Amino acid sequence: MDTIATEYRLEGDGADLRALPKISLHDHLDGGLRPQTLLELGEGIGLDLPASDVESMAEWFSVQSNSGSLVEYLKTFDLTTAVMQTAEGLARVAREFVLDLAADGVIYGEVRWAPEQHLARGLTLDEAVEAVQAGLEQGAEDARHQGHRIRTGQLVTAMRHTDRGLEIAELAIRHRYHGVVGFDIAGPEAGFPPSRHRTAFDYLASQFLPVTVHAGEADGLESIRSALVDGRALRLGHGVRIAEDLQIDRHDDGDMYVTLGPIAQWVRDREIALETSPSSNLQTGAIAAWGDDLVDHPFDLLYQLGFRVTVNTDNRLQSGTSLTRELALLSDAFGYDLDDLEVFQLNAAAAAFLPIDDREELAEQIEDGFDEA
Ligand SMILES: [Zn+2]
């Protein structure tokens, strides 16, 4: 699963997808470890590991993630978070995370993770955020020495099934001028709607910190509604089940007519970005209602209808993927050309949790890079 070494060229014009400037908005820190790092850090703390070499470790992640069982899938995170309980472990993983993004052509990456899951060995929430920030900054500096320009932002995440939402929101605000650019909630979606964390979201709204919410992945429209109303989400983590709010009629003349329900209308017209993650959406069953192949993903329908679709990896280790690979898979499935891929990157630039000047600069970098391709 060496996704970095594999070459991806666009059919037709043969453009090297890895070299194109890209933006990654939905990428979990505990889902992006190098297998080698997991082995080294795991052995260092005497962890019971499911494999003893890089290949079988990568294979284990692939099998667990493709098992069709959410329980087996989530076990992989028990393992990755276990080696991310010290400042050194967090900083190393964060540094390598940035280097891997940079090698994949990413020029701006938002890195999400849940500090509350990294306190088992005595770190405080603030120490954990600082350790990750140190690693991200070191990674960007090291990438610069390798000829890559990349910047990052932390998305501090609260777990939706615990009750620390407000505490984590306050943590995000404390670090907003030291690397944190936004807030998210993650974990089991069904049964844990965003309204559970209404106090946290109210506080964040009062402080004007941007929010994205995992919604429309493992649950449907009501979860998305709560993300928008209770969370004031400016983006939706995956959000693919917004397609449940589309009424599709096929007429006798072969034409297809689509009517948008009120939630879909809001998401499209307010340009609420959808952080779709093609491989992950297949593996977690998020698109099961539409089919079990990538061509069944409502991504293309949403794109054609004018939704602000973005392409993401979610968990690179678990899915054995990279942003370049996800773009290649979508191109294969839907016949996208460079212009389409550029739109997805410009969508991501517009939706980044950065000041408008910075977003315009990212857009220029993307346009320049795609012009050269
Ligand atoms: Zn996610």
Q: Are strands 151-159 and 106-113 parallel, antiparallel or unpaired?
A: parallel
- The model's confidence at residue 370, banded by pLDDT at 50, 70 and 90, is very high
Write the pLDDT tens digit of every residue in 161-195. Answer: 999 999 999 999 999 999 999 999 999 888 999 99
Question: How far apart (Å, rounded) are the C-alpha atoms in residues 93 and 2?
Answer: 18
Residues 91-142: pLDDT tens digits? 999 999 999 999 999 999 999 999 999 999 999 999 999 999 999 999 999 9
Domain enclosing residue 177, as ranges: 17-372
Is there a domain that residue 49 lies in? Answer: yes
pLDDT digits (tens, 9 = 90+) for 260-313: 999 999 999 999 999 999 999 999 888 999 999 999 999 999 999 999 999 999
**Contact (CB, 8 A) for 85 and 120:** yes
Under a CB-based contact definition with an 8 Å cutoff, are residues 316 and 4 in contact?
Answer: no
Ligand 1 centroid, distance to 27 Cα (angstroms): 7
Quick check: is 206 in a domain? Answer: yes
Residue 4 has pLDDT above 80, yes or no: no
CA distances from 341 to 157, 345, 346, 350 (A): 28, 7, 9, 14
Closest to 144 in 3D by CA, of 89, 180, 107, 92: 107
Residue 299 alpha carbon to ligand 1 centre in Å: 16
What CATH code is carried by the domain that includes residue 97?
Answer: 3.20.20.140
Q: How far is CA 164 from the centre of its chain?
A: 22
Read off the pTM.
Answer: 0.96
> How far apart are alpha carbons 335 and 364 in whole angstroms?
25
Confidence band (pLDDT; 50, 70, 90) for 253? confident
Within a domain: 2:
no
State CA 279 to chain mean position distance: 12
How many whole angstroms separate alpha carbon 252 and alpha carbon 98? 52
Residue 70 has pLDDT above 90, yes or no: no
Is residue 366 in some structural domain?
yes
Q: Is residue 304 part of a domain?
A: yes
What amino acid occupies position 164?
R
- Answer whether residue 4 is part of any domain: no
Instruction: Examine residue 76 and state whether it is found in any structural domain, yes or no.
Output: yes
Catalytic positions, written as ranges: 217
As for how many domains the chain has, the answer is 1
Going through the chain in order, the beta strands assigned E by DSSP cover 22-28, 106-113, 151-159, 180-186, 212-215, 235-238, 246-250, 256-260, 273-276, 309-311
pLDDT in tens, 308-362: 999 999 999 999 999 999 999 999 999 999 999 999 999 999 999 999 999 999 9
- Structure letter (DSSP) for residue 240: G
279 Cα–ligand 1 center, Å: 12
| pLDDT band of 75, cuts 50, 70, 90 | confident
Q: Is the pLDDT of residue 13 over 80?
A: no
Does a structural domain hold residue 210? yes
| Residues 111, 314: Cα–Cα separation, whole Å | 10
Q: Which residue has the tokens 């017209």?
A: 269
At residue 5, does pLDDT exceed 80?
no
Residues 6+ apart with CB under 8 A from 66: 283
CA of 109 to the centre of ligand 1 (A): 14
**Between residues 8 and 360, which one has the greater pLDDT?**
360
Report the C-alpha gap between 281 and 314 in whole angstroms.
Answer: 9
